Amino acid sequence: METVATRDIRIHLKELIKSSDEKQNVIAAKIGISEGYLSKFLSGKEINFWMVREIIRYVDPENETALMEQHCLTGVKKKNYASALEYCYTKQLYSVIEALISAQIERDGKYDLWSNIYRFILNSRFSFGNIEYTEGLKKFSPSCDEMRTLLSILEMYGYFYNGRYEITLYHIRSIRSLIKNLSDPFLKIAFTARIEEVLVNIYLKQNNDVNKAREAAFSLLEKDLSINLNMTALYILALSYMNESYCHSYRYYLRCLNLLANFPDRSEEMVQNKEEIAILQYY
């Protein structure tokens, strides 16, 4: 039986557009691209990764992850390779990253530097900040602004997970400057979300700066990049209101629990949230 994940995404999107009340030029204008780019993509040609994401998010947002996964697996050219890897990491599509790297090696006969970096990220994601991680970062020499920015973000993780919060904040200021110079809209959003994920924790748990923590959390929610990032934002918001507003705090905890229900392997977080709700209700 054919599903959204197995259908040709261009045929799928064409049918949805055809059945809607909006014409292609209207949809393109609302997305922020030209009708030519939309037609180009629907006819089978490759366009910028961020454009494909915006098309899917507008036409069929409920199936974004499945459709973008299929788009990545059907092949992306070199200009979209970094964006595809970052998207899959954001969505925790680790097997797709492995498939993309394998396809790149098969195509080029050797590791691309982007492939090396994301393989390193996959292997290190449970050990950010240890000695091997810090030493491993030193072997990479960035070849473009996007790569320089990502490597700076990975260095930031090392400071953060080692509890060096002041230098983390200092490092983030330089990363923001790097992000401003990037031309790829998706990488700008994704890299900003990476630093906001760290900032919400530092602001609330280390600096006790509730307003800045909420600002970063709301920014994460607005980006809506992944369920995992949304849960982080909601949890921080719930904590930030615990001593200020029962209704606000309780509402954010419930939203967080609703998302956690989709992850049976994260039962410990579910229990922790429920315990904190019990403390909230008690006091």
Over residues 73-114, the pLDDT tens digits come to 988 889 999 999 999 999 999 999 999 999 999 999 999 999
Return the pLDDT at 3. Answer: 66
pLDDT confidence band for 1 (50 / 70 / 90): very low
CA distances from 170 to 61, 160, 165, 166, 194 (A): 36, 11, 9, 6, 15
- Of residues 278 and 152, which shows the higher confidence score? 152
Compute CA 274 distance to the chain's CA centroid, rounded to the nearest angstrom.
Answer: 26
CA within 13 Å, CB half, 207:
17
pLDDT confidence band for 274 (50 / 70 / 90): confident
CA within 13 Å, CB half, 254:
7
Residue 11 identity (one-letter amino acid): I
Domain covering 1-74 in this structure, CATH number: 1.10.260
Return the pLDDT at 212. Answer: 96
**42 near 101, Cβ under 8 Å?**
no
pLDDT at 197 over 90: yes
**204 near 240, Cβ under 8 Å?**
yes
Predicted TM-score of the model (pTM): 0.92
pLDDT confidence band for 228 (50 / 70 / 90): very high
Domain ranges in the chain are: 1-74, 79-126, 128-183, 207-283
